[in-house]
Structure 1
Amino acid sequence: MIVITWNVQWGRGVDGRVDLARIVDVARRWAPFDVLCLQEIADNYPGLQGLPAGVDQFAELARLLPDFHAVDGVAVERWTPGLGRQRFGNMVLCRQPPLQVLRHRLPGPPDPQHHSMPRMALEVVVDAPGGPLRLMTTHLEYYSALQRAAQVDALRHLQEEAAAHPHPGRPGKQDGPFEPRPRGPRAVLTGDFNCDASDPQIARLQAPLGGAPRWVDAWTCAHPNQPHAKTVGLYDHAQWHHRSSAFDFCFVSEDLAPRVRRLEVDLQVQASDHQPVLLELDLTR
């Protein structure tokens, strides 16, 4: 299974052009991906540079990938006079039909000294060799370290919660919302974590869990003892002030760590201020 994760900055490249078709083309040329996890997708946000009013990027991406199942993960949803509904968040597009979708609101404790916005984690469960696989993507808080730390703890709790659910679920209650659907501890967590690989929160995310396979940074599986490739600020020096960092990660549940075949960062593309990250898992052995 090939998973690509990318903070696409609503499709705005270093050249200032907003072009989601370019994003999809870059991903397709890179690899025959099974799952595309995207952050910073916008709907009707003319305040974002290069975006006119009324553009629904969630719908546009679904049209650009008609053979994929498109799942939106809206973190911000509001109604603005003169504009109507506005949405901003994440998206997962997967070849396989989802078994179920969960949208987790992440905590945002008060931190009045910093700007912040609502954050969420999108979870899409698919059938895979060996059993259900949870595919998650998120985009953590940038300005508030307090909120980002709380969100890391929430991601740890979500892994513990999923592992604690019975497999299979309680029988009965078929063909209704109480019908049990598989979830399970096997998981991939991708996204923009808005902190560098050396940040204590990255270590915190990977700390042991009570009764659940912990999160493991897939980079360390594919490139042991090597520094993380930078994933943001390589080319957009105006926005990042000549400061590049490794903000974008793929984590796998510990039981999947031996199945990491490769983890790559495209260091050439300039279709966003972030670089895309590719994870390949061997789920067949």
Structure 2
Amino acid sequence: MAQQANFSCISWNIHRCRGNDGRFDPARTLQVLVDEVWQDGVDALILQEADEECPPHAGLLDIASVEAATGLRYAHGAVEQRWAPRSHGFLGVIMFLRPDIAVRRMSLVDLPGHCHRGAVVADLTRGPKQFRLIGTHLSLWQGLRLAQLRTISQHVFRQAPLPAILVGDLNEWRPWGGLALSPRLLGNAFKGPAKPTFPISRPVLPLDRVLATDPAKVKTTCVLDGPGIRITSDHRPLLAEVALPG
């Protein structure tokens, strides 16, 4: 699948390694990631709820094991690229990238709301292509989603223009995105399929999305499934292919 696309990624909310059986088990989450979620040739893995919920937001997974199993490179090696020294990402959002994708700049965007959420904005280069990857986890509350996406879009607006890919648990249940994904609010149109990923047993809500701005285009998305996936998290992972401009 990844061979036919310019960029491919997997997004997964791992529910802080707490399964539907109530068991906290990072080793099980890692095993399911390796056995059922990971796809050979994919360019990026973006996880949500991969750090503890409360400060100091300590990391939950074995980063070296994720790198070894996927061949990807952990993108948050420097302390300034994550919440705190014990964190693995920024408020639970973690990026892994193929080694041939260079991070030119990474910004951490604190989002408004009573439930602490954030976004990781990475300007990337792969050969002659330059693009922006935005990983995030938004609020359950519609009003806060509006404010959070507006905050992200205002941050991006102040950067050099690049085709952008928005990835993560957006908690937006309406396939059309509503006002939260309105170009009038964001200043740009983030477009892509809306496929149900929640709840885990019988998904009906497209909470997890991969969306892109022109001239980038989301070609396909695929909701992943498996017996381990169904017990390990409350969201199904989403695999996407994105065509980037030349």
**TM norm structure 1:** 0.66
Distance 1:56 1:160, change over 3 A: closer
Identity fraction in percent: 22
The alignment's TM-score, normalised by the length of structure 2, stands at 0.75
Task: Give the match for residue 157 of structure 1.
Answer: 154
Shift of 1:31: 4.3
Match of 1:69 in 2: 73
Relative distance call for 1:197 and 1:20 in structure 2 (3 A) is same
Residues 39-188 of structure 1 mapped to structure 2, 5 A cutoff: 39-43=48-52, 56-57=59-60, 60-66=62-68, 67-72=71-76, 88-95=91-98, 96-108=101-113, 116-142=114-140, 144-162=141-159, 165=160, 184-188=161-165
Which letter maps to 1:70? Y
Shift of 1:63: 3.3
Number of aligned residue pairs: give it. Answer: 221
Q: Which residue of 2 aligns with 1:169?
A: none
Gaps of 5+ in 2: 1-6
Whether the 8 Å contact between 2:14 and 2:49 is mirrored in structure 1 is: yes
Residue 276 (structure 1) aligned with residue 237 (structure 2): yes
Q: Which of 257, 264, 279 is the aligned partner of 2:222?
A: 264
1-side partners of 2:144 and 2:179: how far apart? 16
Q: Quick one: distance in 2 between partners of 1:106 and 1:55?
A: 19
Question: How much does 1:123 deviate?
Answer: 1.4
Choose which of 37, 42, 45 in structure 2 pairs with 1:27: 37
Instruction: Determine if the alignment matches structure 1 residue 234 to structure 2 residue 203.
Output: no
Whichever residue aligns with residue 92 of structure 1, its letter is M
Q: Secondary structure, in 3 states, of the residue corresponding to 2:107?
A: strand
Q: CA deviation at 1:8?
A: 1.0
Amino acid at match of 2:215: D
Q: Which residue of 2 aligns with 1:112?
A: none
- Is the alpha carbon distance of 1:155 and 1:57 closer, same or farther for their aligned partners in structure 2, counting shifts above 3 Å? same
Higher relative contact order (CA 8 A, sep 6+): 2
The alignment partner of 2:210 has SS state of: strand
C-alpha deviation, 1:23, in angstroms = 3.9
Q: For 1:38 and 1:234, locate their aligned partners in 2 and report how far apart those are by CA, in whole Å.
A: 16
Q: Which amino acid letter does the alignment assign opposite residue 125 of structure 1? A: D
What is the CA–CA distance in structure 2 between the aligned matches of 1:230 and 1:22, rounded to whole Å? 24
Letter in 1 for 2:65: R
RMSD: 3.2
The structure number with the bigger radius of gyration is 1
Change (3 A) 1:243 1:189: closer
1:246 aligned partner: 206
Distance 2:225 2:37 in 1: 13
CA distance 1:31–1:215, change in 2 (3 Å): farther
Query: Taking structure 1 as reference, are residues 10 and 216 closer, same or farther at Cα in structure 2, changes over 3 Å only?
Result: same
User: Residue 195 of structure 1 contacts residue 246 of structure 1 at CA under 8 Å; is this kept in 2?
Assistant: yes
Taking the aligned partners of 1:61 and 1:272, their CA distance within structure 2 comes to 19
CA offset digits 1:251-273 (Å, max 9, x no partner): 1012112xx33111124431311
Q: What secondary structure does 1:255 align onto?
A: coil
Gap regions ≥5 residues in structure 1:
48-53, 79-84, 109-115, 166-183, 220-227, 236-241
Give 1:244 deviation, angstroms.
Answer: 4.1
Q: Whole-Å Cα distance in 1 between the matches of residues 174 and 12 of structure 2?
A: 17
For residues 105 and 40 of structure 2, what CA distance do their matches in structure 1 show? 26
* Pair 37,123 (structure 1): closer, same or farther in 2 beyond 3 Å: same
